Amino acid sequence: MSPVISSPLLRRTSPEVLPVTRSISEGEPAIVAPKVRRALVVNGVAVEPGERRRVEIPVGGLPTQTPLGLPVEIVRGVEPGPRVWVSAALHGDEVNGVEIVRALLDELDPKKMCGAVIAVPIVNVFGFINQSRYLPDRRDLNRSFPGSKKGSLAGRLARLFLDEIVGRCTHGIDLHTAAVGRYNFPHVRGDLSDGPTRQILEAFGADVMMDAAPPRGSLRQTAAKKKIPIVLFEGGEALRFDRPVVEVGLAGTKRVLEALGVTTFKDSGTPGARRESSQTSWVRARRAGILRVEVESGVFVKKGQRLGTVGDAFDTSAAPLKAPFDGIVLSHVTHPLVHQGEAMFHVAKL
């Protein structure tokens, strides 16, 4: 049995945990962050120090003339400090983050905070209603930034989110899952060559940190251009709550807020190993057939190790799928019926 990387989801096999240089519980934040004092106004609603306000930002409507709004909850501390947005469901079918945001809000007390948290549990409200990754016009919201007030539906929503949420913050945490039919081992992504970004990724404390350039048109790319450090968390699969993944994402989010000096929590868990990777490869099916998975996400693998096979209903002439290098399986497909060339496993080199 191949070893599994440490996480609440999978058993711990390595004691490797990188030390955090300083803890907020010791009196000072681990990360030096700006102490923002200016007024906090979202969609025309002013949020005063020590207040908690819920705002719904109009985003249009349905063909039935039913109006739709972007749900936002702002928790502003009594003291100045960094302002952090926490967003989920940028892809409408990625619901783990929705639960992470809900659980986080339950633990925030503005009377014990510095700065503010702006929580947006459902960014792509259109996709969320339709249980779809995309907007009704099949556009990907996370490839539509910075957007335009007069552009497509995706472009307009991207611009609204940028102006009303991102533009009011110093840091961001964006929560994602895999697409339909895939499972992602919990990990974070960001540009590790950027000092402030590295700091908050390390504070999150995931088992794996992917050093990855942001895709064109993504929220992460736009935030980088604005010099706003952002954590992108990936974990679980679409259209279902995965409790262990939610716990990993929630604990990491709390650790970031603690490191920034926003607040403290009774329990923010134990950070993972923070292993870094800058190279990944997709292992693709060489033939159509039925996939039989032998190694799931979160497992360490050696170069040439068999990850699974693709064969027929009788498993005759099964074609093996092998690891391209030593590393960890970050993602695997969850449906067994596959076509030639389809991506089966995503392996990160370690």
- pLDDT tens, 256-291? 999 999 999 999 999 999 999 999 999 999 999 999
**Prediction pTM value:** 0.91
Can you give the pLDDT at residue 143? 98
Upstream peptide bond of 49 is cis (omega within 30 degrees of 0): no
Helix H or strand E segment including 221: helix 219-225
Q: pLDDT at position 28, please?
A: 62
Query: What does DSSP say about strands 275-277 and 300-301: parallel, antiparallel, or unpaired?
Result: unpaired
Grouped pLDDT means (10 residues each) for the chain, 350 residues: 42 30 50 94 98 98 96 98 99 98 98 98 98 97 98 97 98 98 98 97 98 97 98 98 97 98 95 96 97 96 98 89 98 96 97
- For residue 267, count CB atoms less than 10 angstroms from its CB and return exposed for 0-12, middle for 13-18, buried for 19 or more: exposed
pLDDT (0 to 100) of residue 100: 99
Phi, psi of 240 (to 5 degrees): -160, 145
Contacts of 163 (CB under 8 A, 6+ apart): none
Q: Work out whether the CA dihedral 274, 275, 279, 285 comes out positive or negative.
A: negative
Classify domain 279-349 by CATH architecture: Beta Barrel (2.40)
Which residues, 6 or more positions from 90, have their beta carbon under 8 angstroms from its beta carbon? 123, 124, 141, 142, 174, 176, 219
24-276: CATH topology is Aminopeptidase (3.40.630)
Task: Enumerate the domain spans of the chain.
Answer: 24-276, 279-349
Evaluate whether 24-276 and 279-349 have a shared fold.
Answer: no
Which pLDDT score is estimated for 26? 42
Query: How many whole angstroms separate alpha carbon 216 and alpha carbon 179?
Result: 18
